[in-house]
């Protein structure tokens, strides 16, 4: 079964989203991975554009957080591994994952990042990254420089670009977002009290003076991994699959089993298969 996403052409024009839609199609046509929401077919008629994608029935992680689901360390550990494989795959294809979901209140900039809202579960509880409509491709030593993202999940170097131009940013921003997401799943709130309306200078000051507090109930290995993902300096941050695999906490992980979805997730959503041949969703 598949899901069909359809977008009204006139609305895309009114929202100035045509370029983003075609970028998403271009990128997704070249991707296929067990931990992404994959595109299988696309077409259009006079009024709408259609994308046929994987059907994920388990809801997004934001929904489950709002339902007060308690994610165990074991569940989050597997999520980190599955998402690390997906990010490594995107990195090999020169892609920084960027997602439009809302607009920042004071700057009116589109959002982009890995966060619970953009991670869907299948019926077995495995994670899948969705939405590539403003993903960006960087090659070699290229850097991205546009200041956009959902503030609570944005890496420090993205804010720095807005303040002084900075040197730009690259793949490490996605790994920072992974760290924020993993922390939030474990604790129920994020490592920094940053909201969409928080001024950028205040955010940067938080990064300078505030320390992230890790629960004393978490194992030392998980804390060490999160600290390395949430390292403020992108040059020192874990930012590749090899970096993650080399941590003591994941030294004994069977990565082939992770890739093959042979490991049972710690949380399995309660889903009912829809009647009929598929689902459709409009934008």
Q: Which of 113, 117, 122, 131 is catalytic?
A: 113
Contact 67, 5 (CB under 8 A): no
**123 token code pair:** 């019926």
**Does 131 participate in catalysis according to the annotation?**
no
Angle at 225 between CA 141 and CA 203, to 5 degrees: 65
DSSP alpha helix (H) spans, the chain: 9-14, 18-28, 61-66, 73-92, 156-164, 172-187, 200-209, 220-229, 241-245, 255-259
Collapsing DSSP states into helix, strand and coil, what is residue 15? Answer: coil
Question: How many angstroms separate the CA atoms of 29 and 231, rounded?
Answer: 33
**174 token code pair:** 């996605």
**14 token code pair:** 């009114």
**89 token code pair:** 């795959």
Q: How many CB atoms lie within 10 A of CB 47?
A: 11
Angle between the N-to-C axes of helices 172-187 and 220-229, in degrees from 0 to 180, rounded to the nearest 10: 140
Q: How many CB atoms lie within 10 A of CB 101?
A: 14
Strand ranges of the sheet holding 2-8, from the earlier edge strand across to the other edge: 39-44, 48-54, 2-8, 278-282
Catalytic residue list:
113
């Amino acid at each position: 079964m598949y899901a069909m996403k359809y977008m009204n052409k006139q609305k895309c024009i009114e929202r100035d989203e045509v370029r983003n839609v075609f970028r998403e199609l271009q990128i997704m046509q070249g991707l296929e991975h067990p931990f992404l929401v994959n595109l299988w077919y696309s077409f259009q008629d006079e009024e709408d554009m259609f994308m046929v994608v994987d059907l994920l029935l388990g809801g997004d992680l934001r929904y489950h957080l709002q339902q007060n689901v308690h994610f165990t360390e074991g569940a989050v550990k597997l999520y980190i591994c599955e998402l690390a494989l997906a990010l490594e795959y995107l990195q090999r294809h020169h892609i920084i994952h960027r997602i439009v979901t809302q607009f920042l209140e004071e700057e009116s900039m589109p959002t982009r990042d890995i966060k619970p809202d953009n991670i869907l579960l299948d019926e077995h509880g495995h994670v899948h990254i969705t939405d590539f409509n403003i993903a960006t491709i960087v090659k070699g030593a290229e850097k991205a420089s546009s200041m956009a993202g959902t503030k609570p999940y944005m890496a420090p170097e993205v804010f720095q670009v807005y303040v002084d131009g900075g040197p730009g940013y690259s793949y490490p921003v996605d790994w920072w977002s992974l760290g924020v997401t993993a922390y939030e799943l474990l604790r129920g709130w994020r490592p920094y009290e940053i909201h969409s309306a928080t001024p950028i200078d205040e955010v940067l000051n938080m990064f300078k003076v505030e320390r992230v507090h890790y629960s004393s109930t978490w194992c030392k290995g998980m804390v060490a991994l999160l600290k390395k993902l949430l390292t403020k300096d992108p040059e020192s941050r874990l930012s590749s699959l090899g970096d993650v695999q080399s941590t003591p906490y994941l030294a004994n992980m069977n990565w082939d089993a992770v890739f093959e979805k042979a490991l049972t997730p710690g949380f399995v959503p309660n889903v009912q298969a829809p009647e009929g041949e598929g689902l459709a969703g409009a934008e």
